[in-house]
């Protein structure tokens, strides 16, 4: 499916120039809005539509009226809880320490990567792979520019380096034992989150199933452990040799392979 770039319904010359710049950067066509609805542009162009707004970029997948856009989502309140001394199940599973290097093979909205960036601090490294180019672009721009009244949240977001590449292809380019932890959070077989933005992410994303090569590459580049998050009914834990950490009160379970 093709994608076109346009502006918000109400815009000005500065945002038209910005939209044209993004179109050039992504090598995609720019379409004047002319007060048309996004749905009309989708139909006329037979394409997804990336809208350049004042506050954010919004990606409308063809046939969908709700956009995908960057927002820290659950990371914002999870971070507040951590700052208040509470626990986080992701950090309990990954056991990240200050200065650690972590690879998130399934970036998505980077909610877990934001928490990882907080845990590893300035001395650590957080890299997150996203195969779908437009999702990678929207998230990358969001991480670099999202403004919050929580300075710690902003600092954590800015630490994340998005890899605009298939995760397995990327791992093939790095030496063994390059990361302390490798993390996988594939698109769930069963939907857990019901927010419109999560649904929009599923619409725009690439749904690759876990396979042996993913797991073997993850184990090769990890020094300490590989951590998997999936629905509690998923069979991938047993299929790929993860030790499941059961959470009785949650639909989400983590699995760990210690190295």
Q: For 107-149, how does the pLDDT look when each residue is reduced to its tens digit (9 = 90+)?
A: 989 999 999 999 999 999 999 999 999 999 999 999 999 999 9
Task: Tell me the per-residue pLDDT of 31-52, one tens digit each, with 9 for 90 and over.
Answer: 999 989 999 999 999 999 999 9
Pair 81, 17 in one domain: no
Pair 26, 106 in one domain: no
pTM of the model: 0.90
Considering the domain boundaries, does residue 67 fall inside one?
no
Give 95's contacts (C-beta < 8 A, 6+ positions apart).
181, 224, 225
Pair 55, 82 in one domain: no
CB atoms within 10 A of CB 35: 8
User: Of 33-42, 219-228, 248-257, which gets the smallest average pLDDT?
Assistant: 248-257
What are the strands, taking DSSP E only, across the chain? 2-7, 47-52, 57-60, 101-104, 125-129, 160-163, 179-184, 222-231, 243-245, 252-258
Instruction: Measure CA of the first residue to CA of the last residue in the chain; give whole Å.
Output: 41
Pair 109, 196 in one domain: yes
Which is it for the CA torsion 144, 99, 79, 152, positive or negative?
negative
Q: Is the pLDDT of residue 158 over 90?
A: yes
Pair 94, 56 in one domain: no
Of 60, 87, 107, the residue at which a domain comes to its end is 60
Q: Which domain holds residue 96?
A: 74-258
Pair 101, 195 in one domain: yes
148 to 103, 121, 143, 152, 231: CA distances (angstroms): 25, 18, 11, 9, 31
Considering the domain boundaries, does residue 195 fall inside one?
yes
Return the CATH number at 82.
Answer: 3.40.50.150
| Residues listed for the chain | 259
Number of domains in the chain: 2
Mean pLDDT (whole number) for 164-181 = 97
Pair 35, 94 in one domain: no
Pair 185, 212 in one domain: yes
Pair 108, 211 in one domain: yes
For 47, the 3-state DSSP assignment is: strand
């Amino acid at each position: 499916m093709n994608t076109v770039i346009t502006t918000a319904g109400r815009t000005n010359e500065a945002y038209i120039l910005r939209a044209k710049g993004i179109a050039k950067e992504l090598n995609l066509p720019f379409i004047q809005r002319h007060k048309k609805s996004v749905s009309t542009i989708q139909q006329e162009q037979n394409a997804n539509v990336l809208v350049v707004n004042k506050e954010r970029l919004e990606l409308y997948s063809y046939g969908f009226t709700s956009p995908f856009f960057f927002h820290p989502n659950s990371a914002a309140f999870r971070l507040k809880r951590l700052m208040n001394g509470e626990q986080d199940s992701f950090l309990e599973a990954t056991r990240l320490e200050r200065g650690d290097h972590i690879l998130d093979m399934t970036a998505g909205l980077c909610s877990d990567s934001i928490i990882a960036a907080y845990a590893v601090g300035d001395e650590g490294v957080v890299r997150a792979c996203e195969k779908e180019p437009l999702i990678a672009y929207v998230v990358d721009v969001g991480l670099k520019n999202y403004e919050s009244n929580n300075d710690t949240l902003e600092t954590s977001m800015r630490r994340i380096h998005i890899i605009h590449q298939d995760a397995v292809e990327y791992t093939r380019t790095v030496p063994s034992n390059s990361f302390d932890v490798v993390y996988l959070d594939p698109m769930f077989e069963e939907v857990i989150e019901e927010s419109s933005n999560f649904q929009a992410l599923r619409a725009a994303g690439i749904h690759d199933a876990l396979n042996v090569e993913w797991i073997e590459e993850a184990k090769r580049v990890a020094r300490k452990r590989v951590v998997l998050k999936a629905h509690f009914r998923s069979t991938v834990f047993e299929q790929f040799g993860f030790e499941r950490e059961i959470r009785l009160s949650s639909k989400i379970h983590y699995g760990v392979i210690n190295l």
